[in-house]
């Protein structure tokens, strides 16, 4: 298999994904997930929050190379994010940078669902 | 591209051409070679080309225990399958429109049968057991007075299991039903004898047995003669069953490939089988992996393995130093999980997380060691990314 189906950003993040893992439950940790491996993709997100910002974000993923790269990219982009920024995050950002094939964009919507669920959990915690 | 160092473990998709075969083909193509049309019996050029075609016909016939005149040249196993299925069904349509096959056949069998369904034929689709084997009793139970054809592959292209062709053939023969077998994956790997296996039609291809792509053959029983309606009309070659100028160099390549494969089959199978066992021992030690298909009734050289908690496309890309197939090469462009593995009852996740490793004549122990190390490393890496719920499953 050549690297042709994946752009260099995907190849780089796939080979060396950032911030993989999860934080153990704690008062300052929020977590959320979306997807189902039987559907081909699942994202688990966990974040340490302080005041009104995410100070660290970890992700776990079951999915294709584009999805692994998307989780990694997201984990970098949302470091330091506020609740408002979290709510504004859109799948289109990752779709453009990672050149997601149109037929796979549904998987990015799953990631967006996980981000929204994380924001909802944060709001619920107050 | 990183193809230079890629270890080729996709022999079930296609094999490299044996250098001995390539040499024979190149000789045909040189200016001093055989440029005549094998059908031009009126001059020396044509007669020499015909001689080579007939020698190859004998080589292929001998490898399957057939008479040479029962071999019809085609463009490959897909055409052979189409010719066998459409040919028998349409020839006998006024006597009955029932056909029997299985859900795990190659697309080259499934799709012609589905087309016949659209044309008013009825197909009974047998579901193999979880081990991938269709029991002969299932075939027996499916036969009806109006059944015209049973089509069953000898070796499954995705999982490598071997069907009991002789037993099914005996049932069909007893009931007077034509029996077609796709042997694309078994030629050169298992003994083939159309007489003792009671086979009426046998599809063969060269490119999975170290011959060239673009050439195949269909064995068509001659005694008693089997009625077959052609797919291609034209110059009346191959007794009118398959018109078109015969491709001398391709046919020469297929003939020699079959002769070599049959002559070297036993030593090839023993060596490749030992390498396959070594590969399975290495991969199974990772844990949470499953071998798809019957553990023993399988060809040497093919392993289809499901990896729990690892997504298939990621695994294939992570293992891009190995040329392996996710599902079958013929359908891996599609997003759907393998229909073969789904038919065996695998979950979507397991079916989607499967890789086919197929070994062959040029596979070395060093390549297998490298492959085992790569699979161990990458499965562990990808599993470490998986959500915790998946790690436990």
Mean pLDDT, residues B260-265? 97
Specify whether B112 is located in the same domain as B254.
Answer: yes
Residue B4: closest CA among chain A residues belongs to which residue?
Answer: A2
pLDDT over threshold 60, residue B335: no
Instruction: Determine whether the interchain pair B314/A68 forms a contact, defined as Cβ–Cβ distance below 8 Å.
Output: yes
Residue B95 CB-density burial (10 A; 0-12 exposed, 13-18 middle, 19+ buried): exposed
Over residues A84-105, mean pLDDT: 91
Q: Where are the domains of chain A?
A: 8-125
Q: Which of B191, B173, B190, B169 is nearest to B181 (CA)?
A: B169
Task: Indicate whether B46 belongs to any domain.
Answer: yes
The residue of chain B nearest to residue A43, with distances taken between CA atoms, is B387
Chain B residue closest to A69 (CA)?
B314
Q: B259, B59 in Cβ contact below 8 A?
A: yes
Alpha-carbon distance B206 to nearest alpha carbon in chain A (angstroms): 24
Position B393 in a domain: no
**Residues B178, B200: Cα–Cα separation, whole Å:** 6
Residues B141 and B281 in one domain: no
Rounded CA-CA distance B391/B338 in Å is 23
> A-side interface with B, Cβ within 8 Å?
1-3, 6, 14, 17, 20, 22, 33, 37-44, 60-65, 67-68, 103
Please give the mean pLDDT across all residues of chain B. Answer: 93
pLDDT in tens, B143-186: 999 999 999 999 999 999 999 999 999 999 999 999 999 999 99
In the block, tokens 């974040």 appear at: A47
Chain B's closest residue to A103, CA to CA, is B335
CB pairs under 8 A between A and B: 63
Quote the domain boundaries for residue B192: 19-263
- Model confidence at B195: pLDDT above 70: yes
pLDDT at B254 over 70: yes
| A64-75 average pLDDT score | 96
Q: What confidence tier does B391 reach under pLDDT thresholds 50, 70, 90?
A: low
Eight-class DSSP state of A28: T
Nearest of B354, B341, B358 to residue B300 by alpha carbon: B358
Whole-number pLDDT of residue B1: 43
**Percentage with pLDDT > 70 across chain A:** 97
Same domain, B255 and B290: no
The pLDDT-based confidence of B337 (bands split at 50, 70, 90) is low
Task: Give per-residue pLDDT as tens, A104-116.
Answer: 999 999 999 999 9
Q: Do A2 and B387 touch (CB under 8 A)?
A: no
Contacts of A1 (CB under 8 A, 6+ apart): B316, B317, B320, B323
Examine the pLDDT at B11 and tell me if it is beyond 90.
yes
**Same domain as B251, residue B366:** no
Chain A residues within an 8 Å CB radius of B311: 37, 40-41, 62-64, 67
Look at residue B4 and tell me whether its pLDDT is greater than 70.
no
- Judge: A63–B311 Cβ closer than 8 Å, yes or no: yes
Instruction: Note the pLDDT of residue B328.
Output: 41
Q: Do B314 and A14 touch (CB under 8 A)?
A: yes
**Is the same domain home to B130 and B269?**
no
For residue B243, count CB atoms less than 10 angstroms from its CB and return exposed for 0-12, middle for 13-18, buried for 19 or more.
Answer: middle
pLDDT of residue B333: 38
Instruction: Summarize the confidence of residues B37-42 as an average pLDDT.
Output: 95
Tell me the residues of B at the A interface, defined by beta carbons under 8 Å apart.
1-3, 309, 311, 313-314, 316-318, 320, 323, 335, 347-349, 352, 384-388, 390
Whether residue B1 lies inside any domain: the answer is no
- Name which of A20, A60, A64 is nearest B313 (Cβ-Cβ): A64
Q: Which residues of A touch B320 (CB under 8 A)?
A: 1-3
Is residue B188 domain-shared with residue B222, that is, in the same domain? yes
| Model pLDDT, residue B46 | 95
What does the CA dihedral B187, B191, B197, B199 come to, rounded to 10 degrees?
A: 20
Instruction: Residue B313: list chain A partners with CB under 8 A.
Output: 64-65
Q: Which of B246, B263, B280 is the last residue of a domain?
A: B263
Q: Are B204 and B184 contacting, i.e. CB atoms less than 8 angstroms apart?
A: yes
Query: Which residues of B are designated catalytic?
Result: 330
Residue A65 contacts residue B314 (beta carbons within 8 Å)? yes
Model confidence at B331, in pLDDT bands (50, 70, 90)? Answer: very low
ipTM metric: 0.94
Which tokens in the block code for residue A20?
């993989």
**Tokens encoding A123:** 């709001």
Residue A40: its chain B contacts at CB < 8 A? 311, 348, 352
Do B191 and B289 have their domain in common?
no
What six digits make up the tokens of B122? 């009825």
Is the pLDDT at B389 greater than 70? The verdict is no
Alpha carbons B179 and B168: distance in angstroms, whole number: 8
CA atoms within 13 A on the CB side of A3: 12
- In a domain, residue B389? The reply is no
- CB–CB contact A62 B387 (8 Å): yes
Mean of all residue pLDDT scores within chain A: 93
Is B318 within a domain? yes
Q: Which range (A42-56, B69-83, B146-160, B338-352) has the least confidence?
A: B338-352
Q: What percent of chain B has pLDDT over 70?
A: 95
Mean pLDDT of B295-321: 93
Q: Which of B311, B335, B387 is the closest to A60 by Cβ?
A: B387
Contact B265, B188 (CB under 8 A): yes
The Cα–Cα gap between B185 and B205 comes to 9
The answer to whether residues B272 and B259 belong to one domain is no
Rg of chain B (C-alpha set): 22
Asked if A22 contacts B388 with a C-beta cutoff of 8 angstroms, the reply is yes
The Cα of A15 is separated from the nearest Cα of chain B by a number of Å equal to: 8
Exposed / middle / buried, residue B296 (Cβ in 10 Å: 0-12, 13-18, 19+): exposed
Nearest residue on chain A to B353, judged by CA atoms? A40
Predicted pLDDT of residue B330: 38
Give the end of a domain, one of B197, B229, B263.
Answer: B263
* B46, two tokens: 């044509």
What is the architecture, at CATH level 2, of domain A8-125? Alpha-Beta Complex (3.90)
What is the distance in angstroms between the Cα of B352 and the nearest Cα belonging to chain A? 8
Domain harbouring B342, CATH code: 3.90.1150.10
For residue B2, pLDDT over 80 is answered with no
Instruction: Give the pLDDT score at B332.
Output: 40
User: Residue B334 CB: number of other CB atoms within 10 A?
Assistant: 10
| pLDDT greater at residue B352 or residue B98 | B98
Residues B238 and B105 occupy one common structural domain: yes
Contact B385 A61 (CB under 8 A): yes
Interface test with A, best of B314, B319, B391 (most A CBs within 10 A): B314
Same domain for B209 and B116: yes
Closest partner residue to B349 among A38, A43, A68, by Cβ?
A: A38
Whole-number Å distance between alpha carbons of B318 and B321:
8
Domain holding B156: CATH number?
A: 3.40.640.10
Least confident of B149-153, B204-208, B388-392: B388-392
pLDDT at A1: 44
Q: What is the pLDDT of residue B342?
A: 85
Give pLDDT, residue B393.
46
Asked whether the beta carbons of residue B313 and residue A65 sit closer than 8 angstroms, the reply is yes
User: Are B228 and B364 in the same domain?
Assistant: no
Give the separation between CA B26 and CA B249, rounded to whole angstroms. 8
Indicate whether B216 and B358 sit together in one domain. no
Nearest CA to CA, how far is A114 from chain B (Å)? 13
Task: Work out how many domains chain B is built from and give that number.
Answer: 2
Tell which of B243, B263, B283 closes a domain.
B263
């Amino acid at each position: 298999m050549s690297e042709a189906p994946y752009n260099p950003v995907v190849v780089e993040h796939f080979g060396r994904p950032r911030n993989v893992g999860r934080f153990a439950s704690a008062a300052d940790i929020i977590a959320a997930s979306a997807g189902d491996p039987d559907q081909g993709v699942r994202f688990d997100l966990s974040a340490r929050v302080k005041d009104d910002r995410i100070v660290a974000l970890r992700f776990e993923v079951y999915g294709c190379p584009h999805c692994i790269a998307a989780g990694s990219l997201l984990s970098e982009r949302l470091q330091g994010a506020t609740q408002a920024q979290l709510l504004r995050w859109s799948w289109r950002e990752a779709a453009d940078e990672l050149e997601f094939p149109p037929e796979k964009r549904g998987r990015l919507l799953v990631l967006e669902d996980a981000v929204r669920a994380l924001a909802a959990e944060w709001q619920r915690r107050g | 591209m990183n193809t230079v160092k890629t270890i080729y473990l996709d022999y079930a998709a296609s094999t490299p051409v044996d250098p001995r075969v390539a040499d024979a083909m190149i000789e045909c193509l040189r200016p001093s070679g055989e440029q005549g049309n094998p059908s031009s019996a009126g001059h020396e050029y044509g007669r020499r080309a015909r001689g080579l075609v007939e020698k190859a016909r004998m080589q292929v016939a001998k490898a399957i225990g057939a008479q040479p005149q029962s071999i019809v040249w085609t463009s490959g196993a897909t055409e052979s399958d189409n010719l066998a299925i459409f040919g028998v069904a349409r020839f006998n349509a006024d006597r009955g429109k029932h056909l029997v096959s299985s859900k795990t056949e190659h697309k080259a069998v499934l799709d012609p049968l589905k087309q016949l369904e659209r044309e008013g034929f009825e197909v009974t689709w047998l579901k193999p057991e979880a081990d991938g084997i269709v029991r002969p009793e299932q075939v027996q139970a499916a036969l009806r007075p109006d059944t015209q054809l049973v089509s069953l592959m000898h070796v499954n292209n995705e999982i490598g299991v071997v069907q009991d062709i002789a037993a099914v053939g005996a049932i069909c023969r007893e009931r007077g039903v034509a029996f077609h077998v796709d042997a694309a994956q078994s030629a050169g790997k298992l003994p083939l004898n159309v007489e003792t296996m009671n086979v009426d039609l046998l599809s063969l291809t060269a490119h999975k047995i170290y011959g060239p792509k673009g050439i195949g053959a269909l064995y068509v029983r001659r005694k008693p003669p089997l009625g077959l309606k052609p797919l291609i009309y034209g110059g009346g070659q191959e007794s009118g069953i398959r018109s078109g100028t015969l491709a001398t160099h391709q046919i020469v390549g297929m003939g020699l490939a079959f002769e070599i494969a049959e002559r070297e089959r036993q030593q090839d199978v023993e060596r490749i089988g030992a390498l396959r066992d070594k590969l399975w021992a290495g991969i199974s030690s990772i844990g949470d992996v499953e071998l798809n298909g019957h553990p023993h009734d399988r060809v040497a050289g093919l392993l289809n393995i499901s990896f729990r908690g690892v997504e298939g496309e990621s695994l294939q890309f992570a293992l891009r130093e190995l040329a392996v197939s996710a599902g079958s090469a013929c359908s891996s462009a599609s997003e759907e999980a393998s229909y073969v593995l789904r038919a065996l009852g695998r979950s979507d996740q397991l079916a989607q997380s499967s890789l086919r490793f197929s070994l062959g004549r040029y596979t070395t122990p060093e390549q297998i060691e490298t492959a085992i190390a790569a699979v161990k490393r990458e499965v562990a890496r990808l599993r470490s990314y998986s959500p915790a719920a998946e790690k436990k499953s």
